[in-house]
Amino acid sequence: MQTTTVFLILIALCVISFYTGRKRSQIVAMQHGGLDTLHSLPNHYGYMAAVWAALPALFVLLVWMGFESSVLHALVVGQLPQNIQQLPPDELGLYYNQVQGFARGAIDSAQLDEAQISAAEYYIRTVTSFSQMKATLVFVVAIIGALLAIRRVTPVFRARNHVEKIFEWVLFSSSFVAVLTTLGIVLSVMFEAIRFFQIIPVQDFLFGLQWSPQMAIRANQVAASGSFGFVPLLVGTLLISTVALLIAVPIGLMSAIYLSEYASRRFRAVTKPVLEILAGVPTVVYGFFAALTVAPFIREMGESVGLNVASESAMAAGLVMGIMIIPFVMSLSDDIINAVPVSLREASLGMGATMNETIRKVVLPAALPGIVGGILLAASRAIGETMIVVMAAGLSAKLTINPLEAVTTITVQIVTLLVGDQEFDNPKTLAAFALGLVLFFVTLLLNFIALHVVRKYREQYE
Amino acid sequence: MNSMSDSNRSNTTAAIAASLKKRYARERRFQWYGRLAVLTGFIFLFILLTDIVIKGSPAFTQHFIKLDIDFNTEVLGISQNATAEEISGADFSAVVKDSLRTMFPDVSGRKEKKALYRLISIRAEYTLRDMVLENPALLGTNAEVWLLAHSEAGSYLKGQVDASAPESDRKVKDIQVVWLDTLAKEGRTESRFNSTFFLSGDSREPELAGIKAALYGSLFTLLVTFCLAFPIGVLSAIYLEEFAPRNRLTDLIEININNLAAVPSIVFGLLGLAVFINFFELPRSAPLVGGVVLALMTLPTIIITSRAAIQAVPPSIQEAAMGVGASKLQTVFHHVLPVAMPGVLTGSIIGMAQALGETAPLLMIGMVAFIMDVPGGVTDPSTVLPVQIYLWADSPERGFTEKTSAAIMVLMAFLILMNGLAVYLRKRFELK
């Protein structure tokens, strides 16, 4: 039986348990002299029955699904002839994959030998009996759970407290998903990165000036042995991010100043949402815009003044990325400028300073830490941005700080390394995780500093 | 003494008066910088949108060419009363080629013939086959049939090709230009609404490519995302706002949520690849995995906005509920949450819009495959609209550029719809 079917029947069982529990509590209450004798509402007894039908059964289902494939693997391999069981693990894995593929109807029988076909038949039999066993087990657990809960229905039983206690745990586990996600990210990326560093030394990665991960994925492929120097990627990333910030910070900051200090309320009410559309445009759209419109335009411009511009120049990607983060810089600086106390402005204006002197000499210095924090957040956004650079930046890692040349970035390399063939014991695939680790910690660090700076700044005026 | 200070004062006044003009000029300049910055933002937005609309709008029409088709049984290689199976196997492309050759009898040579056949899309043979299958009496008769033009011919008919450019720079050759002009003069070309674009999946031929498969993929992915992110997000927000004790563990959870909001999306893709595909062995390219990854990514947005919405509920409502003896849980679910719901929904819709536009993490988990078939469930291989845009943008065929822009227009239309809904909900919420 399909897992979805099992799941749907389980939901139906929960609904039935709910009504049975509720009915049971009403009957019990009537025997003891009316509904008033119950500690909790009949619904609570129903919820209790439903929860006890659902939770243990779900637990069993999850555990089963977690172990199913490895048990299946062990059983099927145990059926194979001795000489095949002696094969090295990766060849055995390939052999097993073929069996699996045939059993699922993905591979033609012509590619397989006798033993594999019989193993595939055994595989199909086992899968069928497993899924029957799974369904039976889950349903039995659900029904037992519900029955036990329903048996406990008595007028003095505190069903509400019981249900609410369980529900508080459900609430807690939902919010714990965030912690598990972070843990999952750190562990998975770290685990693969460590495997990478076992093959490529850390210092070669961190200080190497050459990045060319053209490594053979399969043993018989012809390719140079790769070199994994991370510096050109870092420089490329920083170059594009710098161009982006040079566009976004002046425009975003000046817009924020104008909108919060000069503009009329109505102008501001119209302008701000319109500029924020820029933040809602999907990054893939920016990538398309950068690759097909901006990059050719910049190249033609450069050629008309005699400059040699690469068709995938860092300038194009950076410019478009800058456009993308304008609203981000704008709303962050807006918040921060508005947090500067009005009394500071009034003092300065009262001394006869003009508005722009007030802004430049009083408001901005007071807001500086917050603005720096905002710029750091924008920088972390730019460093982690993927689609624009994947579509508009180059692939070859060149160590240059000329924005008219093509450079590559960390995110571009992660994407190119992982799209297509993957082999989790090859440094080419594992390198992507090492890059991911660096990316994760760099953005984490930037955010941490930025949030710290912003909070410190806010506290100053509260 | 007195006159000294007087002259001093008048000196200062004079100095201030002299500098005033400069200071006011600077003030005006500063204001202009501000206006310029706002204007630049507007200009960027305007260029971006018009560029896409101009590039994309031709994709919503496609050209058809009328041909006199002779359903000659000899050319088709079947008999007059052929079975449906025989008709399906018949060579309908030969009929199309025959018809083109009769129309332009002076075409000779392999190369010219090939150029002539390239005027009509390869779908023509399937169109004719379906016609005959539906009405076998057509065999042996003549009929005028509108057939879909090849994407290159179509782009010439749409006026996108500059015929005065050197021939080597364009896909549509001089000889094809002559034929197409003749066809157009004879009234044999027609522009129609491009329904193929909405009704079919991806294709190698630009004129046959559509976004239906990608739209369904996006739908399934968002369904999974919503089913996971909405309940988990709202329950977390309730826990953190109403139940969480002040302790280290709660602090840890809050720090984690804030950090996750700033983690680059591609890192979630790495998580999906390493954990869901490599470790749990879930199917690659499936909306299930994509949905889970996007759910984890949008979770912080939903939690943060839901918390703000719950915080905004007046404490009097809670106190009233508690006062008549409701438990904490009853208070929250019967009274606080319903009042906060518009705000919670606004946040969730914004989160979903984010997920709809996201591309990078989905590339990691293999949703970049070439998908022609519309997926039927959350475990079928599929792609999503932004990834389809990425794939088409990468394709060297010129015909795909307009498809890409058109797909972007569809995607943006959905995003505007979702954000509009969010704004509407927020407005209604504010009125209360």
Neighbouring residues of A224: CB distance < 8 A, sequence distance ≥ 6: A212, A214, A215
Better pLDDT: B4 or A264? A264
Find the helix or strand (DSSP H, E) in which A70 lies: helix A42-79
Position B397 confidence tier, pLDDT thresholds 50, 70, 90: confident
Question: Do A439 and A226 form a contact (C-beta atoms < 8 A)?
Answer: no
Say if residue A220's pLDDT is above 80. no
Query: What does DSSP assign to residue B167?
Result: G
- Highest-confidence segment of A44-48, A93-97, B40-44, B278-282: B40-44
Mean pLDDT estimate for chain A: 86
Q: Which amino acid is at A209?
A: L
The SS3 call for residue A352 is: coil
Give per-residue pLDDT as tens, A333-353: 998 898 889 999 999 999 989
B222 forms beta bridges with none
d(CA B382, CA B284) in angstroms, rounded, equals: 9
Task: Write down the pLDDT at residue A460.
Answer: 74
> Is residue A435 situated within a structural domain?
yes
Which residues are CB-neighbours of A345 under 8 A, at least 6 positions away? A358, A362, A363
The one-letter amino acid at B342: P
Which DSSP letter does residue B145 get? E
Q: How far apart are CA B268 and CA A436, in angstroms?
A: 10
B2 — pLDDT class (breaks 50, 70, 90): low
Residue in A69, A263, A287 closest to B281 by CB:
A69
Using CA atoms, how far residue A126 sits from A79, A84, A106, A139, B280, in Å, is 12, 20, 18, 20, 20
Would residue A185 count as lying in a domain? no
Residue B190's SS3 state is strand
Neighboring chain A residues of B35 at a CB cutoff of 8 Å: 258
pLDDT surpasses 60 at A223: no
The stretch B244-267 carries a mean pLDDT of 90
**Nearest C-alpha neighbor of A298 from the set B405, A289, A235:** A289
Do A145 and A238 fall within a single domain?
no
Element (H, E) at B176: helix B174-185
CA distances for A14 relative to A10, A49, A53, A58, B376, angstroms: 6, 8, 6, 11, 28
Q: What number of other Cβ atoms are within 10 A of residue B187's Cβ?
A: 8
Kindly state the percentage of chain B with pLDDT values over 90. Answer: 38
Q: Is residue A424 part of a domain?
A: yes
Mark which of A157, A175, A200 sits at the end of a domain. Answer: A157
Amino acid identity, position A383 = I
Same domain (yes/no): A274, A395: yes
Q: Does A68 touch chain B (CB under 8 A)?
A: no
A283 lies in the same domain as A421? yes
Among A1-10, B45-54, B104-113, name the most confident range: B45-54
Confidence (pTM): 0.88
Residues 217-236 of A with CB under 8 A from B: none
Q: How close is the nearest chain B Cα to the Cα of A91, in Å?
A: 18
Per the structure, the complete domain to which residue A370 belongs is given by 227-461
- A148 and A231 in a single domain? The answer is no
Q: Could you tell me what percent of chain A has a pLDDT over 70?
A: 95
How far, rounded to the nearest angstrom, does the alpha carbon of residue B344 sit from its chain's CA centroid?
A: 25
Q: How confident is the model at residue A281 (pLDDT cuts 50, 70, 90)?
A: very high
Kindly state the average pLDDT of the residues B206-215. Answer: 89
Question: Hey, is the C-beta of A412 within 8 angstroms of any chain B C-beta?
Answer: no
Flag whether pLDDT at B181 surpasses 90: no
A191 Cβ under 8 Å from any chain B Cβ? yes
Q: Give ranges for CATH 1.10.3720.10 in chain B.
A: 212-431
Q: What is the pLDDT of residue B33?
A: 94
The structure tokens 């029988």 sit at A109
Whether residue A131 sits in one domain with residue A275:
no
Give the Cα separation of B137 and B145 in Å (integer). Answer: 15
Q: Which two tokens stand for residue A375?
A: 């710029």
Q: At B26, which amino acid appears? A: R
Residues of A in contact with B240 (CB under 8 A): 175
Q: Which residue among A135, A157, A179 closes a domain? A: A157
Residue A216 pLDDT class (50, 70, 90 cuts):
low
User: pLDDT at position A217, please?
Assistant: 53
What confidence category does residue A42 fall into, taking pLDDT thresholds of 50, 70 and 90? confident
| pLDDT one-digit tens code per residue, A419-428 | 866 777 778 8
Confidence of residue B269 (pLDDT cuts 50, 70, 90): very high
- Test the A interface: residue of B292, B359, B419, B426 with most A CBs within 10 Å: B359
The amino acid sitting at A389 is: V
CA dist., res. B123 & res. B199, Å (int): 14
B285: which 2 tokens?
Answer: 């390219």
Highest mean pLDDT out of A26-40, B163-177, B222-236 = B222-236
Specify whether A413 is located in the same domain as A287. yes
- Report the chain B residue with the minimal C-alpha distance to residue A330: B38
Are A234 and A103 within one domain? no
* Mean pLDDT in residue range B260-277: 91
Please give the full DSSP string across A205-246, using - where no structure is assigned.
HHH-S-EE----SSTT---PPPEE--HHHHHHHHHHHHHHHH
Indicate whether A188 belongs to any domain. no
Residues 6+ apart with CB under 8 A from B419: A280, B349, B350, B353
pLDDT above 70 as % of chain B:
98
Question: For A259, what's the count of Cα atoms within 13 Å in the CB-facing half-sphere?
Answer: 30
A66-70, A146-150, A305-309, range with the lowest pLDDT? A66-70
Q: Which residue has the tokens 């449906």?
A: B84
Mark which of A115, A134, A157 sits at the end of a domain. A157
Residue B73 has pLDDT above 90, yes or no: no
**In this structure, are residues A283 and A388 in contact, taking their beta carbons and an 8 Å threshold?**
yes
Q: Is residue A182 part of a domain?
A: no
Half-sphere exposure of A455 (CA within 13 A, CB side): 6
Residue with tokens 């043979």: B125
Span A310-326, average pLDDT: 92
Query: CB contacts < 8 Å between A and B, how many?
Result: 247
Tell me, yes or no, whether A235 and A145 share the same domain: no
User: How many other CB atoms are found less than 10 A from the CB of residue B185?
Assistant: 9
CB B238 within 8 A of CB B337: yes
Cα separation, B282 vs A418, in Å, equals 17
Residue A352, domain CATH? 1.10.3720.10
User: Could you give the C-alpha distances from B257 to A175, A189, A332, B393, in angstroms and in order?
Assistant: 9, 19, 19, 34
Contact residues, chain A, for B281 at CB < 8 Å: 69
Q: What is the DSSP letter of B283?
A: P
pLDDT for residue B413: 94
Cβ neighbours of residue B85 closer than 8 Å, sequence gap 6 or more: none
Whether residue A392 is found in the same domain as residue A313: yes
B289/A contact by beta carbon, under 8 A:
no
Per-residue pLDDT at A162 exceeds 80: yes
Note the pLDDT tens digit of each residue in A44-100.
Answer: 888 989 988 888 998 998 888 878 878 888 888 887 777 777 777 777 777 777 777
Residue B260 · residue B301 · CB < 8 Å: no
pLDDT at position A33, please? Answer: 80
Please indicate whether, in this complex, the C-beta atoms of A184 and B415 are within 8 angstroms of each other. Answer: no
**Mean pLDDT of all residues in A212-235:** 70
Q: Give B188-200 pLDDT, tens digit per residue.
A: 888 889 888 898 8
Residue A39 has pLDDT above 90, yes or no: no
Mean of the per-residue pLDDT values for chain B? 87
Of all residues in chain A, the one with the smallest CA distance to B328 is A164
A214 within some domain = no
Which among A458, A242, A264, A298 is positioned nearest to A370, based on CA atoms? Answer: A458
| Domain presence at residue A345 | yes
Q: What is the mean pLDDT of residues A10-38?
A: 87
Rg over CA atoms, chain A: 31
User: For the residues A262-274, what does the mean pLDDT come to?
Assistant: 90
Q: Has the ipTM of the complex gone over 0.85?
A: yes
Closest chain A residue to the Cα of B388, Cα to Cα: A284
For residue A219, the model assigns a pLDDT of 53
Average pLDDT value for residue range A255-260: 93
Look at residues A351, A333, A365 and name the one whose alpha carbon lies nearest to residue A460.
A365
Residue A201 lies in a domain: no
Residue B323, chain A, CB below 8 Å: the answer is no
Q: Which residue of A has its CA nearest to B294?
A: A181
Specify the CATH class of B212-431 in words. mainly alpha
Number of domains in chain A: 2
State the average pLDDT over residues B333-341: 91
CB B365 within 8 A of CB B290: yes
Say if residue B260's pLDDT is above 60: yes
Which residues on chain A are in Cβ contact (under 8 Å) with B220?
Answer: none
For residues A298 and A411, membership in a common domain is answered with yes
